[in-house]
Structure 1
């Protein structure tokens, strides 16, 4: 089942400015950046710590690259701030099906590609006490280093 907090997603208007705030204020460095065209965001993952299951915990900063993206619409309605919480799991397929069986709406029929080649799905916030919740299975353990990738889907 769920093993850790994978990341906290924070929507922002200016990724570079927000990344600099987290670096200057808390000392967090960028671990990974990418553009996810499918989700319409440019993102930076700031690694906080490693975990016993080989994964890590991150702050994920999200800047929309299209006005029709979910994050852009969320920013228009709510302004900058916490967008979602993500829990790590060894098996996003099995856990999302188990949670669906408990009456929680799972937003994707099949998990999709997420940050750093992870597999993800989301749970409906109305079924999770107002919190958009993501389930994440990491592609491989991420332990150190900065990397950048651009993806198009």
Structure 2
């Protein structure tokens, strides 16, 4: 399975507004979207850097996955997301190659993407996300 490109890097942050200011002031980037994904208990902010995006992730719930991640590891890179075509087929292919899936079927993510996560226990310690634009 060869991904189309790196869709985004997800970065867990404590304070979305402070982090947006950092990326805007230090790197001169422009935040083009802020979105809440209630099902994932997260608020996101996006920056475009070439073909790849940076997605900042702030928890909206102390029991949410981003809050738990930050409490264990601190702020920082949370996941790498790969753009793919036919996400359901790609999930079957990586699972057949021994990768443990967090999501057996895609779910809705930020920016209207269909997403599915691969477990870091079987991806050399890196949480990986597959993303597909809705048709």
Q: Give the aligned length.
A: 134
The answer for the alignment partner of 1:10 in structure 2 is 11
> Over aligned residue pairs, what C-alpha RMSD do you find?
1.1
* Unaligned segments of structure 1, at least 5 residues: 51-56, 141-153
Distance 2:89 2:26 in 1: 39
Greater fraction helix: 2
The answer for the alignment partner of 1:27 in structure 2 is 28
Aligned-pair distance for 1:139? 3.0
Q: Which runs of 4+ in 1 moved over 6 A?
A: none
The answer for the alignment partner of 1:107 in structure 2 is 102
Distance 2:3 2:92 in 1: 13
The answer for the alignment partner of 2:50 in structure 1 is 49
Distance 2:38 2:102 in 1: 18
Q: What is the TM-score normalised by the length of structure 1?
A: 0.84
Distance 1:81 1:93 in 2: 29
Q: What is the TM-score normalised by the length of structure 2?
A: 0.95
Aligned-pair distance for 1:84? 0.6
Residues 1:90 and 2:85 aligned together: yes
Distance 1:135 1:68 in 2: 24
Contact map agreement 2:44 2:58 (CA 8 A) in 1: yes
